[in-house]
Amino acid sequence: MIASSFALLIDWHPLKFDPGTLFWTWAVFGVVVFVISKFAWKPLIAALEAREKKIEDGILKAERAEAEAKRAAAETEAKLREAFVKADQIVEETRARGEKLAKELESEARSAADKVLQRAREEITLAKQQAVEEMRVLAVDLALEAASSVVGRAMNQDDHRRLAGAAIDQMKRG
């Protein structure tokens, strides 16, 4: 039997036409196509469509998160500008008071002006820190939401901490 199979291999030629082989090749191909179309094709298409939908949803969520982050950044920038205007007003008021008090009592006016100026600087620093912290928290929340929707899985506390730390470090760098 092995010798006859070996003889067939030696006698085989790639351009030789064999109707029996052609028939069985097409028959096996037809059965394979039928089985794949009945059992594998629909689940495969469904999985691909579900994946495409999930990717589209992730992109839409990321775009919404980006728009929200831009809006929050603009809002924070406006608050910072407002804080600087208020700080300038406070500084101007302090200067006016200082000049008026300097005319009346120079020594007393200097100490009062220093106190008011220090208070104004602390208020500016506090307002700036609060605005920056608010922006950081909002950016981290949005980044975590976008990351979890893009990643497509629930994230544990360690993942949140790692992503939040990376986002804060990146924001500090500018």
Q: Is the pLDDT of residue 173 over 80?
A: no
Q: What is the pLDDT of residues 81-113, one digit of tens each?
A: 998 899 899 888 888 888 887 788 788 878 888
Amino acid 152: pLDDT: 58
The band of 3, judged by pLDDT with boundaries at 50, 70 and 90, is: low
89 or 17, which is more confident: 89
Structure tokens at 33: 């196509």
Identify which of 143, 149, 148, 150 has the alpha carbon closest to the alpha carbon of residue 164: 143
Residue 123: predicted pLDDT? 93
Q: Is the pLDDT assigned to residue 63 strictly greater than 90?
A: yes
Average pLDDT, the chain: 83
- Overall average pLDDT of the 148-161 stretch: 68
Q: Is the pLDDT of residue 154 over 80?
A: no
DSSP string of 20-66? HHHHHHHHHHHHHHHHIIIIIHHHHHHHHHHHHHHHHHHHHHHHHHH
The HSE-up count of residue 3 (CA atoms within 13 Å, CB side) is: 0
Task: Please state, for a pLDDT cut of 90, what percent of the chain lies above it.
Answer: 36
Question: Looking at residue 122, what is its pLDDT?
Answer: 94
* Domain range list for the chain: 62-173
What pLDDT sits at residue 77? 92
Residue 9: pLDDT above 60? no
pLDDT at position 56 is 95
Question: What confidence category does residue 74 fall into, taking pLDDT thresholds of 50, 70 and 90?
Answer: very high
User: pLDDT value at position 18?
Assistant: 79
